[in-house]
Amino acid sequence: MINGIDYAVFTVDFVSRWRDAFTEYYRYEREGEFLIIPSLRGKKTYSYLPGLTYTDKRVGECSDLLSAVKGKAYTIRTLDPNKKIFKEFEPVTMRLDISHGNKEQIMKNFNATYRNDIRQSERFGVVTKIGDDSILLDHFYSLYTSTMHRVGSPPFGRGLFDVLKKFMDMEVIVIYVDNEPAAAVLMVYDESIAWSPYAASSRKFSKFHANQRAFRDAIFRAVDREKTVFDFGRSPYTNTKNGTYWFKFKMGARPVGLAILCHKEENIYAKYSTISLLWKKLPKSVADFIGPTLRRYLAAS
């Protein structure tokens, strides 16, 4: 039986507003439906579109886009819902069907250990706050930069999230332990999709299971907003039973294929693996200072 949630892509309007947000913040040049991303070496990549896991296109629906960038360096992000077999570390997006709107059933689909973790977080008295005000975004951003440094990736600048808030239907779910931010999930909403491009947590509060609680509350929020697909965002597929892929899997999510069309074949995780190791060794203050500027030039991020 074909799972309908595997085929859901962003609407044209969503993609257009996302393009406008990145144009305003980074001052990218535009050509047709593409943003032109400069590299540190002065080269240009036509991107459809930076910052998105996929767009309004499924693989096989991009003939017009491919014609527009013939002979140029390009990146086009698409969904590949028919792909069912994945290589180790191949990028996938992780999805949960919430179309039934049954929160009790959603909890039953969680790994038993995670269900217990969430119950413990409730006994610990952790507090959830949801919104898009500056204080919540600041608390999210503090957790986000720490997490990005820990995983070895340059962060976006704080200002980008203010711009995204202006163009997109966006909010954050922040979990607090003793009034201190412990975990957060950024949510961006489309007609049917609740998408979480970024999540962050503090290891200081791992015993409070704040990360599991943050995603549980984000999923329930998406149900309240009558979305049908909860998209946890991109992860590298793996059989090692750890990492972000397995965290999302234990929350009930399943992989859906991605097809990133490029002028030359690339493995985005392998490409940045060495840089990631070096980035982790930078002092966090340095990483936070140069990271947002560097992000402007990372078309494949």
Q: Return the CA Rg of the chain.
A: 19
| 130 and 213 belong to one structural domain | yes
In this structure, are 180 and 205 located in the same domain?
yes
**Tokens describing residue 276:** 């990631």
Q: Tell me how far apart the alpha carbons of residues 256 and 93 are, in angstroms, rounded to a whole number.
A: 5
**CA 241 vs CA 25, 201, 231, 237, 247: distances in Å:** 38, 20, 20, 10, 9
What's residue 1's pLDDT?
A: 31
Q: Per the domain annotation, does 291 fall within a domain?
A: yes
Q: Is residue 300 part of a domain?
A: no
Look up the CATH number of the domain holding residue 153. 3.40.630.30
Domain-embedded: residue 243: yes
User: Residue 301: inside a domain, yes or no?
Assistant: no
Say whether both 267 and 169 belong to one domain. Answer: no
pLDDT in tens, 22-50: 999 999 999 999 999 998 888 999 999 99
In whole angstroms, give the CA distance from residue 127 to residue 154.
29
Query: Do 220 and 286 belong to one domain?
Result: no
Q: CA 69 to CA 92: how far, in whole Å? A: 25
237 and 106 in one domain? yes
> Is 86 among the domain residues?
no
Residues 105 and 129 in one domain: yes
Given a contact cutoff of 8 angstroms between Cβ atoms, the answer to whether 181 and 143 are in contact is: yes
40 assigned to some structural domain:
yes
- What pLDDT does residue 275 have? 76
Where would I find the beta strands (DSSP E) of the chain?
29-31, 34-38, 44-48, 74-80, 91-97, 127-131, 169-177, 180-189, 193-201, 229-236, 254-262
Say yes or no: 225 and 110 in one domain: yes
Range of the domain at 126: 91-256
- Asked whether residue 209 is assigned to any structural domain, the reply reads yes
Q: Are residues 35 and 101 in the same domain?
A: no
> Domain tally for the chain?
2
Tokens of 51: 């910052």
Cis-peptide, bond into residue 79, ω within 30° of zero: no
Residues 194, 101: one domain?
Answer: yes
- CA–CA distance, 196 with 93 (Å, rounded to integer): 10
- Do 36 and 137 reside in the same domain of the chain? no
pLDDT of 276: 81
Does residue 105 sit in the same domain as residue 246? yes
Instruction: Look up residue 200 and give its amino acid.
Output: A
In terms of domains, do 174 and 41 share one? no
The model's pLDDT over 257-301, given as tens digits with 9 standing for 90+, comes to: 999 999 876 665 555 667 788 888 899 999 999 999 999 988 655
Using CA atoms in the order 131, 251, 211, 231, what is the torsion angle rounded to 10 degrees?
-40
CA atoms within 13 A on the CB side of 7: 7
| Under-50 pLDDT residues of the chain | 1-2
